[in-house]
Chain A
């Protein structure tokens, strides 16, 4: 039996039944890595020794009859912007190429507490800035479903690792779609939890009012397992919610009577070449209807300002979040400096990639004197209006259904899709972060051998609704 091709929840069940050992689970994944990683490049760092030690530890615990955690024995990958104690964490940047954090992110502590096995740190767009994992200092990650196309981004490594069976489950981060879009492109499930549901302590921020740590799994149950293992209130994170926590199970959700809203603004949004995807989505809607769901079109009028609002807010926040990277206390320090200004400027210029520099410049501009008041605060007000649109919709509906991305995973160095289309594509995922909602992308089908995902969006702290609906849908189409 090839353990690494099982679902994570199946591996855990077999482990608890003592049919397989944690070490065997790990070795199966290591073998998989040995055979495909050179083609995929999902990892920046693989920590074989400590993973083996941890797996042995789980086996010993089991032998002693101790109870095991929710993530017992599962080889887990962490996007390399999540701090792991004594294990190199680079954010895919030259700036942190040799950075060894002296502390664990809270989600990492939670994984260890739940007996999860940290197998390695996965590839991403540098500092999570990108949608294709093409800006990493450590090379591109390839889509396991088709090596010529991107896995999506910025959490490309975590998605590819799970899709390629190199990892059982993994964590990414999502600011405007960076978990959902790669999940869609790699044909797996990706969850972006409600803002405040999962701790951000120890996760290098991109845009702190938009970021959440997201979960990848081969199916809904796997992604749900990952979420259960890491969610919860964290006193070290001021934005962590007291309402955080998973207190529902997957069973008991039904598509019958499920009230689904479809934003009119998405129906009317056209992106070049998206006809086949739209057709697939319409067929998927028919499945829901057949199962008894009630589907209506609703308008979220302020959605049309979501992209501009998102860019103003995220670039402004990103620029200050990267200010601490200056080569003084850690990270890359230039050798050519004579003045203090040189020390800062040369270190940052030499170590940051082009996209990172670009976003810092834009953000600094967005916040500079004379402009800050005007447009940053204005964006925050429009954000409120977008949030209100969603609140209103969720009064009468359980979930919002949409595409995750209107474009298929594209080839590397792609100029096939125009910048305008790439930009429009974000409109499906970005508003979710603006309103702090939860959303899950799950496979809907394939076009030309490439995966296509659909997105279920739920109101804040309504993970139960979207995950149960997704689980029910999965069962129906199986």
Chain B
């Protein structure tokens, strides 16, 4: 049977509200050090927290998007510990009554859909930032202190690094879809900790759960899970075991390194946050938030499959982001050929975006322009290769396809008479190729095609040329 890997994830997501969660300092990444700080987030004596409506709404959106049960009376608790980036000596979080209970996210595996269940989602405040200098001091910036966070905790339903990756991708796109976070792991607006152990049901052995922190990207989360599960298995194989410890992912060493032993032993002395009487979530508000939720990725994918007759894979890719799906649908209005459109978008458009490390939002090609380009090719005015070149130019210049085609004189030569002339010319110049083709070397056609393209600067209509070549060779 072998080992089964059990992975649970704890994901912290920074909410992109206008203001911080308990005060009205700006919630903005990258401001000048210590300039978005007030008595509340600085933890001055007597300063008091007040819950932000937008932060609470964003948390509720997340709960609805993941099918969680929303707690109608929102209570907060103090999580007590001392650390320099924590200004009050406690973090206002939620202990036994999280904002959202349960919930799930489905991922697409090769052999079907797998449901990853959530334990809970709760709302809390972020801490400040610490920098370590070379001369042995720590520098503290509290701009980030008080930024609203939601913490999403999964059940240990994830059984491999690949499943974790799929889960994180889906989570990320859903969170972006509902507009509550820009989920940029590099900027810290999405942070992930991994809890992992392995079990062998037959031999009835299991390793002790270890926690891995300091994961800066999905890639490192995947690698950490892979190396960690291997480490657990190797220890069990030797008859040893892991320890309940917290480990850190080290990118350079490509392995997990111990950070501290015995996690979970901290006494946080959770106590009700007396400065924040519980908040009632009215049913009417909840309904309003629910109605304003955008169509979620899964719903959209199902709709794309049926409405546009797309395959699973295409639908998955095209609904990967809300903006990409919107781009597809907008362009479709002008093109009306979903197969063709999806090929173009999934091919050249996405490829170029990936090369430039850009998101679709940054693309300055209008849907109508892309549609026009596709139609130009579909109608035979330019050939496919020309089309790709025009797209490249559109990317760079932002000009419309008509303009580019006109300026560069790229209209495909589909005039029979003109083509005939050229075909005859090339055939006359290449008797050997004709001979080769007649002797069974099919490649010779390709060579002749290439010559014709060269002669016409790529503008010859390939389908027509192909037909003509075959016809004329037979006559020779």
User: Could you mark each residue 229-242 of chain A with 1 if its beta carbon is under 8 Å from any beta carbon of chain B, else 0?
Assistant: 00000011111000
In the bound assembly, the distance between CA atoms of A102 and B87 in angstroms comes to 16
**Residues of chain B with a CB closer than 8 A to A322's CB:** 89
Stretch in A324-332, A382-390, A412-420 with 4+ CB within 8 Å of B = A324-332
Residue contact A329 to B43, C-beta cutoff 8 Å: yes
User: Could you mark each residue 96-110 of chain A with 1 if its beta carbon is under 8 Å from any beta carbon of chain B, else 0?
Assistant: 100101110100000
Q: In chain A, residues 325-359, which have Cβ atoms closer than 8 Å to a Cβ of chain B? A: 325-326, 328-330, 340, 344
User: Could you mark each residue 68-90 of chain B with 1 if its beta carbon is under 8 Å from any beta carbon of chain A, else 0?
Assistant: 00000000001010101001111
B50 in contact (CB, < 8 A): yes
Stretch in B166-174, B273-281, B432-440 with 4+ CB within 8 Å of A = B273-281
Q: In chain A, residues 74-107, which have Cβ atoms closer than 8 Å to a Cβ of chain B? A: 81-83, 89, 91, 96, 99, 101-103, 105
In the bound assembly, the distance between CA atoms of A376 and B272 in angstroms comes to 10
In the assembled complex, how far is the CB of residue B55 from the closest CB belonging to chain A, in whole angstroms? 14
Binding site for A on B (CB under 8 A): 39, 42-51, 78, 80, 82, 84, 87-90, 140, 142, 267, 269-272, 274-277
Residue contact B42 to A239, C-beta cutoff 8 Å: no
- Nearest A residue to B42 via CB reads A329
In the bound assembly, the distance between CA atoms of A204 and B88 in angstroms comes to 13
Residue contact B269 to A328, C-beta cutoff 8 Å: no
**Residues of chain A with a CB closer than 8 A to B84's CB:** 328, 340
7 more contacts with CB within 8 A, not counting A320-B90, A328-B84, are A82-B46, A83-B45, A96-B45, A204-B46, A209-B274, A235-B50, A368-B267
Residue contact A320 to B45, C-beta cutoff 8 Å: no
**Residues of chain A with a CB closer than 8 A to B88's CB:** 323-324
In the assembled complex, how far is the CB of residue A159 from the closest CB belonging to chain B, in whole angstroms? 21
Residue contact A238 to B271, C-beta cutoff 8 Å: no
A-B contact pairs, 5 of them (CB 8 A): A81-B46, A99-B45, A201-B48, A202-B39, A320-B269
Residue contact B50 to A372, C-beta cutoff 8 Å: no
Partner of B277, one of A101, A238, A328: A238
In the bound assembly, the distance between CA atoms of A329 and B49 in angstroms comes to 18
Residue contact B89 to A326, C-beta cutoff 8 Å: yes
In the assembled complex, how far is the CB of residue A82 from the closest CB belonging to chain B, in whole angstroms? 8
Among A200, A204, A320, A364, the most chain B Cβ lie within 10 Å of the Cβ of: A320
In the bound assembly, the distance between CA atoms of A92 and B377 in angstroms comes to 82
Residue contact A236 to B82, C-beta cutoff 8 Å: no
Residue contact B270 to A372, C-beta cutoff 8 Å: yes
In the bound assembly, the distance between CA atoms of A282 and B89 in angstroms comes to 49
**Residues of chain A with a CB closer than 8 A to B271's CB:** 316-317, 320, 367, 372, 376
**Residues of chain A with a CB closer than 8 A to B274's CB:** 208-209, 239, 317
**Residues of chain B with a CB closer than 8 A to A167's CB:** none
Residue contact A103 to B78, C-beta cutoff 8 Å: no
A1 in contact (CB, < 8 A): no
**Residues of chain B with a CB closer than 8 A to A102's CB:** 39, 44
For chain A, what secondary structure do more than half of its interface residues adopt (helix, strand, loop), or is it mixed? Answer: loop
Among B45, B140, B271, the most chain A Cβ lie within 10 Å of the Cβ of: B45
Residue contact B43 to A324, C-beta cutoff 8 Å: yes
- Nearest B residue to A207 via CB reads B274
Residue contact B277 to A239, C-beta cutoff 8 Å: yes
**Residues of chain B with a CB closer than 8 A to A26's CB:** none
A205 in contact (CB, < 8 A): yes
**Residues of chain A with a CB closer than 8 A to B50's CB:** 235-238
Shortest Cβ-Cβ A-B pairs, 4 listed = A323-B89, A367-B269, A204-B45, A202-B46
Residue contact A329 to B87, C-beta cutoff 8 Å: yes
In the assembled complex, how far is the CB of residue A370 from the closest CB belonging to chain B, in whole angstroms? 9
A369 in contact (CB, < 8 A): yes
**Residues of chain B with a CB closer than 8 A to A380's CB:** 272
Residue contact A326 to B270, C-beta cutoff 8 Å: no
User: Could you mark each residue 53-75 of chain A with 1 if its beta carbon is under 8 Å from any beta carbon of chain B, else 0?
Assistant: 00000000000000000000000
Residue contact B87 to A324, C-beta cutoff 8 Å: yes
In the bound assembly, the distance between CA atoms of A113 and B84 in angstroms comes to 37
In the assembled complex, how far is the CB of residue A369 from the closest CB belonging to chain B, in whole angstroms? 4
In the bound assembly, the distance between CA atoms of A82 and B271 in angstroms comes to 25
In the bound assembly, the distance between CA atoms of A172 and B44 in angstroms comes to 19
Q: In chain A, residues 435-476, which have Cβ atoms closer than 8 Å to a Cβ of chain B? A: none
Partner of A367, one of B42, B48, B80, B277: B80
Q: In chain A, residues 396-412, which have Cβ atoms closer than 8 Å to a Cβ of chain B? A: none
In the assembled complex, how far is the CB of residue B144 from the closest CB belonging to chain A, in whole angstroms? 15
Residue contact B269 to A369, C-beta cutoff 8 Å: yes
A307 in contact (CB, < 8 A): no
Decide: A200 near B48, CB < 8 A? Known: A103-B39, A239-B275, A324-B89.
yes
**Residues of chain B with a CB closer than 8 A to A203's CB:** 46
- Nearest B residue to A328 via CB reads B84
In the assembled complex, how far is the CB of residue A387 from the closest CB belonging to chain B, in whole angstroms? 15
In the bound assembly, the distance between CA atoms of A329 and B39 in angstroms comes to 11
In the bound assembly, the distance between CA atoms of A236 and B88 in angstroms comes to 17
Residue contact A202 to B90, C-beta cutoff 8 Å: no
- Nearest A residue to B89 via CB reads A323
In the bound assembly, the distance between CA atoms of A105 and B142 in angstroms comes to 22
- Nearest B residue to A208 via CB reads B274
**Residues of chain A with a CB closer than 8 A to B275's CB:** 208, 237-239
- Nearest B residue to A344 via CB reads B82
In the bound assembly, the distance between CA atoms of A367 and B274 in angstroms comes to 14
- Nearest B residue to A330 via CB reads B44
Partner of A103, one of B44, B51, B140, B276: B44
Partner of A238, one of B42, B49, B87, B140: B49
- Nearest A residue to B76 via CB reads A238
In the bound assembly, the distance between CA atoms of A236 and B46 in angstroms comes to 11
**Residues of chain A with a CB closer than 8 A to B49's CB:** 238
Partner of B46, one of A83, A238, A326, A329: A83
In the assembled complex, how far is the CB of residue A372 from the closest CB belonging to chain B, in whole angstroms? 6
In the bound assembly, the distance between CA atoms of A344 and B403 in angstroms comes to 69
- Nearest A residue to B43 via CB reads A324
**Residues of chain B with a CB closer than 8 A to A201's CB:** 46-48
- Nearest A residue to B78 via CB reads A320
**Residues of chain B with a CB closer than 8 A to A325's CB:** 45, 89
**Residues of chain B with a CB closer than 8 A to A364's CB:** 269
In the bound assembly, the distance between CA atoms of A369 and B49 in angstroms comes to 25
Residue contact B44 to A101, C-beta cutoff 8 Å: yes
In the assembled complex, how far is the CB of residue B459 from the closest CB belonging to chain A, in whole angstroms? 70
- Nearest B residue to A316 via CB reads B271
In the bound assembly, the distance between CA atoms of A316 and B90 in angstroms comes to 14
**Residues of chain B with a CB closer than 8 A to A239's CB:** 48, 274-275, 277
Residue contact A369 to B46, C-beta cutoff 8 Å: no
Decide: A105 near B87, CB < 8 A? Known: A367-B80, A368-B269.
no
In the assembled complex, how far is the CB of residue B387 from the closest CB belonging to chain A, in whole angstroms? 60
In the bound assembly, the distance between CA atoms of A101 and B84 in angstroms comes to 20
In the bound assembly, the distance between CA atoms of A316 and B273 in angstroms comes to 12
Residue contact B80 to A320, C-beta cutoff 8 Å: yes
- Nearest A residue to B266 via CB reads A369
User: Could you mark each residue 207-249 of chain A with 1 if its beta carbon is under 8 Å from any beta carbon of chain B, else 0?
Assistant: 0110000000000000000000000000111110000000000
**Residues of chain B with a CB closer than 8 A to A328's CB:** 84, 140
**Residues of chain B with a CB closer than 8 A to A208's CB:** 274-275
